[in-house]
């Protein structure tokens, strides 16, 4: 099956701003521009057999081929999770990662970057957070969204700006790194099992790359991590036992974190 192309269009009634944003997206993604001409995004996608990036007045949206709803950047759960952390409340991801001020973190599966934002808050300006996203369209949407998202909420804005986004498949990028390059390596292959209640991830699930944990991925993560590797997976996942992760069980949660000390 041939790989589908990506094209860029505008909102229904484009103005100069959306046309400029569309031109920017075309340049960044190496994609062709398609005039809207009063067509629905779905019709354009079907006619051209393509994924569609829509340059709107306030944000970019990504319609993966066949998707009914767009993928776009929003802080998701990060906003209220950051508020809880700022109040001194426990946060399962941070308890597993045990991050310290100045630490470096590699998030192998960035998604909407909620965990990466928590990491950025914890490691501070002296630390470093790098997020990997395999799908170039998703990487573009999240990168642009975090740069442009209009929020007066601090520390949320500062955390967004502190994350470096690299468009790359995880194992491929890990192989380019020397041993002990990051203090913590984090992996969240979210597509192992689908949680019915997680409706807010449906657009990402359709837009993103479906990945699974492999021996090679775990090996490279352990090599690159200086302190620990952290895995997020379904609570019934066999990955914890298979790869030797210490599973942090949470009675009411359907996803657990696992830790490999290195």
Find the CATH number of the domain harbouring 198: 3.40.50.150
Confidence label for 68 from pLDDT (cuts 50, 70 and 90): confident
* Residue 2 predicted with pLDDT over 80: no
Say yes or no: 103 and 24 in one domain: no
Say yes or no: 36 and 88 in one domain: no
Closest by alpha carbon to 260, among 181, 251, 250, 247? 247
Q: pLDDT tens, 109-120?
A: 999 999 999 999
Expressed in percent and rounded to 5, the helix, strand and coil fractions of the chain are: 35, 25, 40
Distance between CA atoms of residues 26 and 53, nearest Å: 9
Say yes or no: 179 and 221 in one domain: yes
pLDDT score, position 53: 97
Say yes or no: 115 and 180 in one domain: yes
* Residue 178 predicted with pLDDT over 70: yes
Question: Is 72 within a domain?
Answer: no
Say yes or no: 134 and 26 in one domain: no
Question: Is 73 within a domain?
Answer: no
Question: Both tokens of residue 67?
Answer: 């998707």
* Residue 218 predicted with pLDDT over 70: yes
Question: Is 69 within a domain?
Answer: no
Say yes or no: 110 and 225 in one domain: yes
Q: Quick check: bond before 155 cis, omega within 30?
A: yes
Confidence label for 107 from pLDDT (cuts 50, 70 and 90): very high
Say yes or no: 100 and 150 in one domain: yes
Question: Is 90 within a domain?
Answer: yes
Domain final position from 13, 32, 63: 63
* Residue 73 predicted with pLDDT over 80: yes
Domain count across the chain: 2
Question: Is 71 within a domain?
Answer: no
DSSP string, 21-56: HHHHHHHHHT-EE---TT--HHHHHHHHTEEEEEE-
Which residues have a Cβ under 8 Å from the Cβ of 162 and sit 6 or more positions away?
Answer: 120, 125, 129
Mean pLDDT value across the chain: 89
CA dihedral 233, 236, 240, 246 (to 10 degrees): 90
| Region 94-118 average pLDDT | 96
- The strand pairing partners of 166, in sequence order, are 132
Say yes or no: 97 and 50 in one domain: no
Question: Is 89 within a domain?
Answer: yes
* Residue 137 predicted with pLDDT over 70: yes
Question: Is 119 within a domain?
Answer: yes
Closest by alpha carbon to 204, among 193, 222, 190? 190
Say yes or no: 52 and 20 in one domain: yes
Confidence label for 198 from pLDDT (cuts 50, 70 and 90): very low
Say yes or no: 127 and 174 in one domain: yes
Instruction: Give the domain range for residue 51.
Output: 5-63
Task: Say if residues 248 and 258 touch (Cβ distance below 8 Å).
Answer: yes
Q: Length of the chain, please?
A: 262
Question: Is 164 within a domain?
Answer: yes
Say yes or no: 40 and 108 in one domain: no
Q: pLDDT tens, 226-246?
A: 999 999 999 999 999 999 999
Q: What is the CATH number of the domain that holds 52?
A: 3.40.50.10480
* Residue 153 predicted with pLDDT over 70: no
Bridge pairing between strands 255-261 and 225-234? antiparallel
């Amino acid at each position: 099956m041939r790989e589908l192309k990506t094209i860029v269009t505008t909102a229904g009634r484009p103005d100069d701003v959306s046309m400029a944003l569309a031109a920017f997206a075309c340049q960044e993604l190496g994609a062709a521009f398609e005039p809207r001409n009063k067509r629905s995004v779905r019709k354009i996608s079907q006619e051209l057999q393509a994924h569609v990036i829509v340059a709107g007045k306030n944000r970019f949206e990504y319609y993966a081929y066949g998707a009914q709803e767009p993928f776009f950047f929003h802080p998701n759960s990060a906003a209220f999770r950051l508020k809880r952390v700022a109040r001194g409340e426990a946060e399962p991801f941070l308890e597993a990662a045990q991050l310290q001020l100045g630490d470096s973190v590699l998030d192998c599966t960035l998604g909407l970057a909620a965990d990466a934002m928590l990491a950025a808050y914890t490691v501070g300006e002296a630390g470093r957070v790098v997020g990997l996203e395999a799908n170039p369209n998703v990487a573009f949407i999240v990168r642009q969204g975090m740069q442009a998202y209009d929020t007066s909420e601090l520390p949320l804005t500062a955390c967004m700006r502190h994350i470096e986004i690299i468009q790359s498949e995880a194992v491929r990028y890990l192989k380019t790194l020397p041993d002990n390059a990051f203090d913590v390596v984090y992996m969240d292959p979210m597509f192992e099992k689908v949680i019915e209640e997680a409706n807010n991830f449906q657009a990402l699930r359709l837009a993103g790359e479906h990945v699974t944990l492999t021996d090679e991925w775990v090996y490279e993560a352990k090599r690159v991590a200086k302190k620990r590797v952290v895995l997020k997976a379904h609570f019934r996942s066999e990955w914890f036992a298979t790869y030797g992760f210490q599973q942090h069980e949470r009675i009411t949660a359907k996803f657990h974190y696992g830790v490999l000390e290195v």
